[in-house]
Structure 1
Amino acid sequence: MKRYFHATRPKFFPASLLPVLAGSAWGFMVSGQFDAAIFGIALVATLCVHAGANVLNDVGDDAGGTDRQNEDRIYPYTGGSRFIQAGILSASGMARLGITLLSIATVAGFWLFLVKGPMVLWFGIAGVLLATLYSLGPVRLSAVGLGEISVGVAFGILPVVGSAWLQSGTIDVGLVMFALPISAWVAAILLINEVPDIVPDEATGKRTLAVRLGNKGTAVLYALIHAFAAAIAVWLALASPLPVVTPVVPFLLLLLAFKASQAIRLGINDRPAMTKAIESTLAIHTIGSIWLVGCALFVAFWGS
Structure 2
Amino acid sequence: MAVDRKLWLAGTRPRTLPASIAPVMVGAACAWNHIQTLNICILIYPVPAKCVANRALLGELTGRFWPVSILCAVVALCLQIAVNFANDYSDGIRGTDDGRSVPESSAPQSISSSSTEPHRQSTAKPQRLVASGVPPKQVLAAAGIAAGIACVAGLIAILIAHAWWLFAVGVLSLLAGWFYTGGNHPYGYAGFGELGVFLFFGLAAVLGTEYALAGTIDLMGVLAAVCCGLNAMLLLMVNNLRDINEDERHGKRTLAVRLGERGARIALTVCVVVELLLSLAIVAVLWWPWGVILAISGIVVPLRILRSIERHDYRWALADAGYQTLFFAALIVVSTIASGI
TM bucket (normalised to shorter chain) is: 0.7 to 0.9
Match of 1:289 among 329, 332, 339: 329
Change (3 A) 1:83 1:244: same
User: Does 1:28 find its partner at 2:32?
Assistant: yes
Correspondence for 2:111: none
| Paired residues for 1:211-230 under 5 Å | 211-230=257-276
Match of 1:122 among 162, 168, 174: 168
Change (3 A) 1:251 1:130: farther
Change (3 A) 1:148 1:251: farther
C-alpha distance in structure 1 between counterparts of 2:81 and 2:272, whole Å: 25
Match of 2:69 among 39, 43, 46: 39
Q: In the TM superposition, what whole-angstrom CA distance separates every residue of 1:9-66 from its partner, at most 9, and x where no partner exists?
A: 2332221112111211211121132622111111111111100000111111112211
Match of 1:159 among 177, 193, 205: 205
Shift of residue 199, structure 1, vs aligned partner: 1.2
Shift of residue 215, structure 1, vs aligned partner: 1.9
After TM superposition, the structure 1 stretch with the greater mean CA deviation from structure 2, 157-166 or 114-123, is 114-123
C-alpha distance in structure 2 between counterparts of 1:157 and 1:254, whole Å: 23
Correspondence for 1:58: 88
C-alpha distance in structure 1 between counterparts of 2:105 and 2:89, whole Å: 18
Correspondence for 2:140: 95
Correspondence for 1:149: 195
Change (3 A) 1:214 1:262: farther
C-alpha distance in structure 2 between counterparts of 1:93 and 1:71, whole Å: 17
Root-mean-square deviation (CA, aligned residues, Å) is: 2.6
C-alpha distance in structure 2 between counterparts of 1:202 and 1:249, whole Å: 40
SS at match of 1:170: coil
Correspondence for 2:278: 232
C-alpha distance in structure 1 between counterparts of 2:102 and 2:288, whole Å: 44
After TM superposition, the structure 1 stretch with the greater mean CA deviation from structure 2, 14-23 or 117-126, is 117-126
After TM superposition, the structure 1 stretch with the greater mean CA deviation from structure 2, 59-68 or 275-284, is 275-284
- The answer (yes or no) to whether the contact 1:156–1:180 under 8 Å persists in 2 is yes
C-alpha distance in structure 2 between counterparts of 1:224 and 1:251, whole Å: 18
Match of 2:317 among 277, 288, 291: 277
Change (3 A) 1:45 1:75: farther
After TM superposition, the structure 1 stretch with the greater mean CA deviation from structure 2, 63-72 or 282-291, is 63-72
| Paired residues for 1:161-176 under 5 Å | 161-176=207-222
- The answer (yes or no) to whether the contact 1:69–1:200 under 8 Å persists in 2 is no
Correspondence for 1:18: 22
C-alpha distance in structure 2 between counterparts of 1:22 and 1:253, whole Å: 17
Match of 1:104 among 138, 149, 160: 149
After TM superposition, the structure 1 stretch with the greater mean CA deviation from structure 2, 177-186 or 27-36, is 27-36
Shift of residue 205, structure 1, vs aligned partner: 0.7
Change (3 A) 1:254 1:139: farther
- The answer (yes or no) to whether the contact 1:13–1:50 under 8 Å persists in 2 is yes
Shift of residue 115, structure 1, vs aligned partner: 2.2
Counterpart of 1:289, as a letter, is A
Counterpart of 1:26, as a letter, is C
Change (3 A) 1:6 1:224: same
Shift of residue 175, structure 1, vs aligned partner: 1.0
Unaligned regions of 5+ residues in structure 2, if any?
37-61, 107-121
Match of 2:11 among 2, 7, 26: 7
Q: Which has the higher helix share?
A: 1
C-alpha distance in structure 1 between counterparts of 2:264 and 2:322, whole Å: 17
Counterpart of 2:186, as a letter, is R
Shift of residue 229, structure 1, vs aligned partner: 0.5
- The answer (yes or no) to whether the contact 1:46–1:159 under 8 Å persists in 2 is yes
C-alpha distance in structure 2 between counterparts of 1:92 and 1:260, whole Å: 36
C-alpha distance in structure 2 between counterparts of 1:54 and 1:103, whole Å: 14
Higher-Rg structure is 2
Q: What is the percent sequence identity of the aligned residues?
A: 22
Change (3 A) 1:171 1:57: same
C-alpha distance in structure 2 between counterparts of 1:140 and 1:75, whole Å: 30
User: How many pairs were matched up?
Assistant: 294
Shift of residue 70, structure 1, vs aligned partner: 5.5
Change (3 A) 1:41 1:237: closer
